[in-house]
Structure 1
Amino acid sequence: MNRLSVKFSALALMLSFGAASGQQTDSLAIKKAVKAATKNEEGIKTVTSSSKEDNNRNVMLNAANNTSPRDVNIGLPSTVGGITILENDLPVVYFFWPELPNKTWRQSVGLEKTGLLKMDQLANTMGDLGFAVNSYSQTGTKDLKIKGKFTTSTFGWLQGDANVSGPMSKDKSWTYTAGALVNYDPSTFKLGFARNVDETKIFRAGITKYFKENKGKISLLYKYSDSYSVGNYAVFQYGENGKVTELDNFRIGRDSYVVRDGRIKMKDILSGQTYWASMSGDDNRSQAHNFSVFGNYKLDNGWDFKFSALAHFGKVKMSTIIPLSIFNADASAGYRLASNGQPYSGAVGTQLAMHTPETPTTNIAGRFSVDKQIGNHHLTIGLLEQYYHIDKYTSNRSFFFQTVEAQPQRLIGPSTDADGFYNYNIGGEFHSGTENKLSLYATDEWKVTDNLNLSYGLHLRNHLIDGEFSMAPRTPGFVFGANDFQSIKTNWLQVAGSLNATYNISKNFGVLANFLYTEENRRLESYSQAFNPNTNKIKSPLGAVGIFWNTDYIQLISQATILKKNNNLSRYNLVNPANTTQSQNVTVYYDIQTIGWTTDFVLKPFKGFNLHYLITLQNPVYKNFTFTAFGKDYNYNDNNVLGVAKILMEIDPSYTVDKWRFWASFRYFSKQYANLTNALYFAPRWETFGGVSYTVNKNINIGATVINFLNQRGASGTINGAELITDASPYYGKLLTGTYIMPLTGQLSVSFNF
């Protein structure tokens, strides 16, 4: 399993991955990868590749939780960071760990616009690989505008979201905006120590100045965020053909596998002090102050100057518990309930606890660009600066045992201390210092002829790291000494860019070709363990060729894609198959190669009806994947990538009539491998969404959504502690832990806009 074990939706291969239709009030308007043709006086326009966002997709429809966008699939293994999130053209956090993006950003009426940035746009402007949610804050408006939304669910989710904006001066050149989002989400399972799995508050306030003669505007915005969240896992019985069976005493998605009192005992890896931390409240909270300045100004020479600057000051605390394995213990094993000392026999769960004490982070970023239409060229030239400082990040570690049941109890065992904990700070982390990225980029959208369009860009980046780390071995009970630290100071030149071409063979049929390339080395976070990481270039070339067909009734794209990425780094908390009480933290470098074929179309056969369909066939595999653990060498070359299905489908019908809109979204995932050896896997599954919305009048909309309406209760993702299992048959009937999709859930929302 990934060392951080924060599970988001699995990633898979595609360049223009289609969409799940969302409810009307939450729809994420994301334009199609190849811009849909429109009519002009000569008939069907030539298709262009200039659209910066992808359509047909609502990445806010997440089957795992209510707090984060779903990941958009590109053929890489699942990531802890999830999809990149931009606000006003800059990342909401510089790096996802330890400050996860959903701690300071949520889909909200406080956002004026939200979309999905295409892979080539992210490579050209940010120099990064993947898709990104691209959002813009609500700025001041010249007329009074009040909008809001209230959401609840069958499990007691309460979210209030409101924003007001309007003029401040008589000539309406000065305007204001203010808003708040408060979220109290118990999710679908009941903790033993708190009502809510997620509590988040985001407050915004700002002013906007409109320049005369429609020259542009400038906005100053302040945002404060305060958030904590608690993760959960499911216990299930694993069976043949990847099937899982629910236990009588543990319902998948409905019960909590988090220790009943929500408390973990740690030893501070810097001071050596022992302390207790909670999974909720102040020990697991992220807070941030954001100051933004953004806008545009149209110069007299025709160039449009766009600017966005951000100062982000965060304080992060994080508590995490990760299940590792389950074994059976009889009365002679010597386990006792920590609460009352009563002897215990039965299933015992091994848990890894991690806690990050308060860690200050600072992110100062700015993006400045000019663009202009010059003949058949649309040119953009930009500068991007990102400064990041993190002050003495640590991840303290300990291990403990617990009962295997809903709201489990902590156990005291023969190898633990008096409170039930052991092996303090094995695998503990530390890094501190600064990163700085300075980039220059340029793009051009060139209409070469009536039938041929080219879009290309280049991104040059200097990445500097200046900090300290330690190579001291993290033995049991480890605490850093004064002489254990050493400095890091290095920088790299990195290149990214893209080239896209479309050619119309006829007015509504043509071919396309895409090439994308990104580079990176390592981040400061890569130095957090007791070794000097491999800093060789991480190169990610992606190529695609395909066809498109656009008419009044169908918009279709079909393409084959190949993607490679070398020098990936993952950290695994491995469990010894020969002795499940033994665990080891291992760092692995490896490559990935994936090829695939995607067909995506939108069909509009009659008024009011829309059908989106997508199918992706792919084969992502590991390359150069070798490591040593528990005295044995392992080689997983050509094994299938974890958590990535080889066949993906989305079927998204919707129908609008009068004031009603009915929609559904069906997502199919074929068999997904759940451990590194590929011996364990999960059976194919569907993720389902459906809903209806009713427009009461021009100001009020009511929406109802059902998540997982087929009520599938199976697990997904990876199986914790099972990475090295080579024969599945001994595990048939055994208890394992893993992630899961949300159970059947109903949601109701009321939106207003005046």
Structure 2
Amino acid sequence: MKSIVTTMGSMMLLMVCMNAAAQEEHASSHSKEEGNRNVMLNAASANGPREIQIGLPSADVNVLENGLPVTYATNPHTVNTMWRGDASLSHQGLLKIAETAITTGNIGYAVNSFTQLGEKGFNGTLNYKSNHFGLQEFSLNLNGDMGKNWFYSVNMYQDFDPGTFKIKSTPYQDRTQIYKALVTKRYDNNAGEFTVGYKYSNSHNVYNYATQSAPFIYVGDGSVKEYGKFKLGTTSYLPTENTMTYRNMRTGQLEQTTLYDACLNRSSELSLMNKYRFDNGWEWKVVARYDHSRGAMVYQTPMAIIDLKSQENQAAYNYQFTDIDGKQKAYEGQYVQTRMSCLNAGTIDEFLFTSELSKQWRNSTLRLGLNEWFYNIDYCSNTTMYDQSVPADGSYAVRLWDANKRDSYFYDFNKNASEYYKGHENKLALYLTHDWDVTPKFNLYYGARLEWQSLNGENAAVKNAAGNYVGRFADYHLGATAADGTVISPVNLSYDWLNYDLSLAATYKLTDNFGFTGDFTYIVQHPKFEAFAPATLPNTDKISVPLGRVGIYYNNAWLSLTSMFSYISKTNNNSTLNLQHGSEIKAAPLSYDIQTWGWTTDAVMHPFKGFDFHCLFTYQKPTYKKFETSVTFNDGYTGTINATGNTVAEIPEILIELDPSYMITKDIKLWTSFRYFSKTYANINEAYYFNGHWETFGGVNWQVNKRLSLGCTVVNFLNQTGAKGSIAGAELITKDEAKDIKNQIMTGSYLRPFTIEVNASLKF
């Protein structure tokens, strides 16, 4: 899990605030979607949807295709390995929070997409994208009819992405291929359609979690500067060696793999879709999908940087490396980076089924739905540690070993964040929504979901004879024996819970232009199966998420404005911190609460012909509640964290989004997007912080004719460089300890570098 295998900043993936709240009101009150979110304009990824910020730690990025989640759980099978916003899609939108909660049981926004089905005649779409780093992305959809109301649609997606720097350990940072084929039978009298589809995907997705770290100099005032000639975002920080040695959690055997092979994701899906309109106005939709897959992701998480020239370390280490000629040499550099590799992989079988019955009257729409979602997985995360050089000249890093301690690169197999679980999770849910124009001035939307969640299987949260969790240790695996004599064997799991979601939204038009709006969503969940992966059982109490918002809106011919106050909280977030003291790492489990107050003002303006301007301002105060944990290290030191009341790490208090665009001619559009993130803390104790920064995008789109469109996008056109997120290995650092730390080398993630992208789309 992300929260277990990474340092605090990247661990939480805290995508922030309430800023998406207001824009819902710009859509029709009857619409399940909203607009103006630039969801595919992503400062973290070249080809995935952006995470919409709602003020809570992000869990899964919800992406739906044809009404079903693209993947039931994103660890270890991420959305980007089997879904892209390519030519195979006829529609993409963004589901509102209430709609996502009622129909899926999850909190947050969801990308809503639908596959392109066959149409009359012969139709085709060819999309192409490239950038100045060498990305090559192709997508082709062909569809048409076969007579007698039979239709076909086929699609191919190919991605060859070297990333923004070359890494020698893999040929690409992303190599993904997706194939789809669908056959549709349309019923007579436009009564509906039945579709059978097949999808195959094969993806080596390296860059998501293996390459997004780099060294820099932390100045001490919230700014960073480059370490030597190392360029953030355009210099590789991965060693050149390709192989990794690990101990198999299941068998205990030492095995080898490569980064590219360990990231292999493969999926075969069969889907059935049916839509039928009855004569009495009711519409029935059914969609079902079976998926057999291998999901995998690899983290290469930086932990500590060791200063070999410091007084206490000069005689403590004896690092060696092998040069390109195969000769063993003493390492003469000043710094050594320790890394934890987490090889997450699982074999997955999932069956997802949703049936929905709906009817629309003159002033209301009623919908009844059923979910039956079954997820079976055999998963483990094998962890291994290694050390590497920190080259100040910007050259490739090399792996090192400390000859005082060992004679090989890899060590501490499965000691820290290793994971294991096997079994199935089932969710059976009924839901209802009613969208009702009570009067011409008053709209009421309400919905409810009742869900039965069942878990059955096993994990490795083993207790000793005294009733205490054994925890992980070096060379941990099923069948291993701990120091106290406890034999590590699978532990059976069986849980049944009742979850529910409620949602209520109301809009009152005081005048034709001005009114009040508010909504309330309350979600009760329980831990997902993946929460049982660590060495201790999670808090299995209910997870409650209340979200309330109230505000005003104003619309006229050139302005659409909403201003809202918001509150959201979440109880019993299960997580595990990997705390570091010296060169030792200990896992510390905890369960904590979080809450966020926010005020958002959002406006879409059309001041003159051809010019559109969207702007959004958010102020928020996200804080930890009951955030306390501790762990005792081998030398007797007890590392303690009490972050209750602290501002949540990585979350800014102020966000600004500015999106102006102008139609130069009826066919040429010039656009930009500016996103500002204020100061963020880079560890839990508020000891380190990063100053505010801008994420910028801009481009031009040219509709050459009805068949051909061209575009050019510039990412980070202000060429702002710097660090973001968290600082590796800094969880236990306090404010007092950090106040005198200046101009020190550290490791963290970074802003996406300046990138020029070109794209073309041809319809035929």
User: Deviation at 1:662?
Assistant: 0.2
Question: Of 12, 16, 38, which aligns to 1:12?
Answer: 16
- Alignment partner, residue 742 of structure 1: 752
Q: CA 1:512/1:491 → structure 2, altered by over 3 Å: closer, same or farther?
A: same
- Alignment partner, residue 465 of structure 2: none
Alpha-carbon distance in structure 1 between the residues aligned to 2:522 and 2:85: 30
Comparing 337-346 with 682-691, which one deviates more in the overlay?
A: 337-346
1:168-220 Cα deviation digits (max 9, x unpaired): 11x4x100000101001111111022331100000011111111111111111
User: Deviation at 1:35?
Assistant: 4.0
- Aligned partners of 1:336 and 1:411 also within 8 Å: yes
Question: Of 638, 642, 649, which aligns to 2:645?
Answer: 638
Matched, 1:471 2:455: no
1:613-656 Cα deviation digits (max 9, x unpaired): 00000000000000012324321101111111100000000011
Alpha-carbon distance in structure 1 between the residues aligned to 2:406 and 2:277: 67
Alpha-carbon distance in structure 1 between the residues aligned to 2:404 and 2:446: 61
- Alignment partner, residue 387 of structure 1: 374
Comparing 609-618 with 476-485, which one deviates more in the overlay?
A: 476-485
User: Deviation at 1:59?
Assistant: 1.1
Q: CA 1:97/1:541 → structure 2, altered by over 3 Å: closer, same or farther?
A: same
Does the residue aligned with 1:168 lie in a helix, a strand or coil? strand
1:692-728 Cα deviation digits (max 9, x unpaired): 0111110001100000000011111111111111132
- Alignment partner, residue 526 of structure 1: 531
User: Deviation at 1:99?
Assistant: 0.7
Does the residue aligned with 2:439 lie in a helix, a strand or coil? coil
- Alignment partner, residue 676 of structure 1: 684
- Alignment partner, residue 111 of structure 1: 89
Matches within 5 A, 1:23-102: 32-36=23-27, 49-79=29-59, 81=60, 83-102=61-80
Alpha-carbon distance in structure 1 between the residues aligned to 2:396 and 2:693: 27
Matched, 1:566 2:571: yes
1:534-558 Cα deviation digits (max 9, x unpaired): 1000000010100011111001111
User: Deviation at 1:140?
Assistant: 1.3
- Aligned partners of 1:653 and 1:663 also within 8 Å: yes
- Alignment partner, residue 551 of structure 2: 546
User: Deviation at 1:317?
Assistant: 3.8
User: Deviation at 1:3?
Assistant: 2.6
Matching residue's letter, 1:206: L
Matched, 1:155 2:133: yes
Matches within 5 A, 1:329-344: 329-330=308-309, 332=315, 333-339=317-323, 340-344=327-331
Alpha-carbon distance in structure 2 between the residues aligned to 1:417 and 1:723: 27
User: Deviation at 1:249?
Assistant: 2.7
TM-score of the pair, normalised by structure 1:
0.93
Matched, 1:261 2:241: yes
Matching residue's letter, 2:370: L
- Alignment partner, residue 225 of structure 1: 201
- Alignment partner, residue 21 of structure 1: none
Structure 2: 5+ residue stretches without partners? 463-470, 480-486, 633-637
User: Deviation at 1:385?
Assistant: 0.8
Does the residue aligned with 2:510 lie in a helix, a strand or coil? strand
Comparing 158-167 with 242-251, which one deviates more in the overlay?
A: 242-251
Matching residue's letter, 1:674: A
User: Deviation at 1:663?
Assistant: 0.2
Alpha-carbon distance in structure 2 between the residues aligned to 1:11 and 1:163: 33
Q: CA RMSD in A?
A: 1.6
Comparing 556-565 with 625-634, which one deviates more in the overlay?
A: 625-634
1:538-579 Cα deviation digits (max 9, x unpaired): 000010100011111001111000011000012222212xx2
Does the residue aligned with 2:25 lie in a helix, a strand or coil? coil
Alpha-carbon distance in structure 2 between the residues aligned to 1:547 and 1:681: 35
Identity of aligned residues (%): 36
1:395-449 Cα deviation digits (max 9, x unpaired): 1111111101243111011465322222111131110000000000000001111
Matches within 5 A, 1:272-291: 272-280=252-260, 282-291=261-270
Does the residue aligned with 2:189 lie in a helix, a strand or coil? helix
Matching residue's letter, 2:536: F
Comparing 743-752 with 479-488, which one deviates more in the overlay?
A: 479-488
- Alignment partner, residue 189 of structure 1: 165
Matches within 5 A, 1:474-553: 474-481=472-479, 484-553=489-558
- Alignment partner, residue 348 of structure 1: 336
- Alignment partner, residue 590 of structure 2: 588
- Aligned partners of 1:77 and 1:644 also within 8 Å: no
Does the residue aligned with 1:240 lie in a helix, a strand or coil? coil
Alpha-carbon distance in structure 2 between the residues aligned to 1:320 and 1:415: 27
Does the residue aligned with 1:61 lie in a helix, a strand or coil? coil
- Alignment partner, residue 597 of structure 1: 599
- Aligned partners of 1:338 and 1:419 also within 8 Å: no
1:478-518 Cα deviation digits (max 9, x unpaired): 22118611211111000102100000110110001110011
Does the residue aligned with 2:474 lie in a helix, a strand or coil? coil
User: Deviation at 1:10?
Assistant: 4.6
Alpha-carbon distance in structure 1 between the residues aligned to 2:47 and 2:238: 19
Comparing 497-506 with 326-335, which one deviates more in the overlay?
A: 326-335
Alpha-carbon distance in structure 1 between the residues aligned to 2:157 and 2:372: 29
- Aligned partners of 1:159 and 1:184 also within 8 Å: yes
- Alignment partner, residue 382 of structure 2: 396
- Alignment partner, residue 618 of structure 2: 616
Does the residue aligned with 1:525 lie in a helix, a strand or coil? helix
Alpha-carbon distance in structure 2 between the residues aligned to 1:748 and 1:4: 36
User: Deviation at 1:112?
Assistant: 0.9
Alpha-carbon distance in structure 1 between the residues aligned to 2:759 and 2:318: 52
Does the residue aligned with 1:439 lie in a helix, a strand or coil? strand
Alpha-carbon distance in structure 1 between the residues aligned to 2:354 and 2:252: 42
User: Deviation at 1:353?
Assistant: 1.2
Question: Of 751, 754, 763, which aligns to 1:753?
Answer: 763
- Alignment partner, residue 665 of structure 1: 673
- Alignment partner, residue 43 of structure 1: none
Alpha-carbon distance in structure 2 between the residues aligned to 1:416 and 1:225: 43
Matching residue's letter, 2:156: A
Alpha-carbon distance in structure 2 between the residues aligned to 1:247 and 1:453: 58
User: Deviation at 1:375?
Assistant: 4.7
- Aligned partners of 1:11 and 1:75 also within 8 Å: yes
1:572-597 Cα deviation digits (max 9, x unpaired): 22212xx2x12111112100011000
Alpha-carbon distance in structure 2 between the residues aligned to 1:458 and 1:61: 32
User: Deviation at 1:118?
Assistant: 0.6
Alpha-carbon distance in structure 2 between the residues aligned to 1:421 and 1:130: 40
Does the residue aligned with 1:300 lie in a helix, a strand or coil? coil
- Aligned partners of 2:56 and 2:569 also within 8 Å: no
Does the residue aligned with 1:675 lie in a helix, a strand or coil? coil
Q: CA 1:51/1:9 → structure 2, altered by over 3 Å: closer, same or farther?
A: farther
- Aligned partners of 1:645 and 1:669 also within 8 Å: yes
Q: How many residue pairs get matched?
A: 720
- Alignment partner, residue 484 of structure 2: none
User: Deviation at 1:731?
Assistant: 3.2
Does the residue aligned with 1:33 lie in a helix, a strand or coil? helix
- Aligned partners of 2:20 and 2:53 also within 8 Å: no
Does the residue aligned with 1:228 lie in a helix, a strand or coil? strand
Matching residue's letter, 1:698: K
Matched, 1:413 2:402: yes
